[in-house]
Structure 1
C-alpha cells in the first residue's frame, strides 16, 4: 500500500501547471511568485535582468554562496481607488527567490546591481581569461 501525504492545494497546483503549458502566466495565490528573468552574456560580463514591478529596492536581497547567485525578496503592492459609487482595492504580495549557478570565470567581488523601471539588472563581471590549454610532458 502506497501512502501519500495529503496536500489540499494539489489540484490548484496541477491546474496552474496546465495553464503554464499554454504560456498563460499564473501567479500562485499562496503568497509566492516567480519573477521573469532574462540572462545574457556580454564580452566582459554576464547580465541577469529580473522583472520586479512594484518591488522596492529595500525588499531585494542578493547573495552569492558556493558559486550560486541568489536573488530573493518580497513584493507588497496595494492600490486603492475610492470613487463616489464604488471602492476598489487591488493587492499583490508574495516572496520570491531565484538562483543561478555561476560559471568559474566570474569576478564575485565586483558584482553590481541596479534597478530601473521595475527591472533589476545584476552585472557579473568576467575574470580575464586564464590559460585554456596546456600540454603536459610525460616523464
Structure 2
C-alpha cells in the first residue's frame, strides 16, 4: 500500500480555497510544517541489534541517547545562528533541527552493553544480546 496526497477537489468558493491552498503549499510554509525525522535501519543478528540512523550535518555532541528501562531514546536539538558583520541580506532563515526517536528494546537485549558511534552522517548504535538469548548451534544426534 502506498500513501498518496489527497486532494478532495472541493469546489472553490469565490476562488478563496485556491488562494488559501496556494499560500500553504508555498515552500516557505510546507518546509516548516513537515516533521523531519531521520530514517533508520534496524537489524537483528545472532549477537545483538543494530540501529543505523541517517542524520547528516550533525556532530556527535548534538545527539542525546538515553535508556529508561527498556526504552532507548535518541534526541537532537541543534540551533545554528551564524553571526555576520554584514547585515545587508534580503532573506535569512534560522537553522533549527530537533527530533526524537524511541525504540523499545526486547527482553533479550543486554541494556548494559550498548555502544554508539557517529561517522559520515550515520549514527550507529549496537545493542548486544544477553548470553542466554544468543542462538547457539549444536548438532542433535538421531537415535
Please confirm whether the aligned pair reaches a TM-score higher than 0.5, indicating the same fold: yes
**TM-score of the aligned structures, taking structure 2 as reference length:** 0.59
**TM-score of the aligned structures, taking structure 1 as reference length:** 0.61
Pairing partner for 1:39 from 37, 42, 53: 42
CA RMSD of aligned residues (A): 3.1
Structure 1 stretches of 5 or more lacking a match?
A: 1-16, 20-26, 80-85, 131-139
Whole-angstrom CA distance in 1 between matches of 2:63 and 2:99? 9
Q: 1:102 and 2:105 equivalent?
A: yes
Moved more, 92-101 or 44-53: 92-101
Q: Deviation of residue 88 (structure 1)?
A: 8.8
Alignment of 1:1-139 (within 5 A): 18=5, 29=32, 33-76=36-79, 92-129=95-132
| Secondary structure, counterpart of 2:61 in structure 1 | helix
Higher gyration radius (CA): 2
Structure 2 stretches of 5 or more lacking a match?
A: 7-29, 83-88, 134-143
Whole-angstrom CA distance in 2 between matches of 1:98 and 1:91? 23
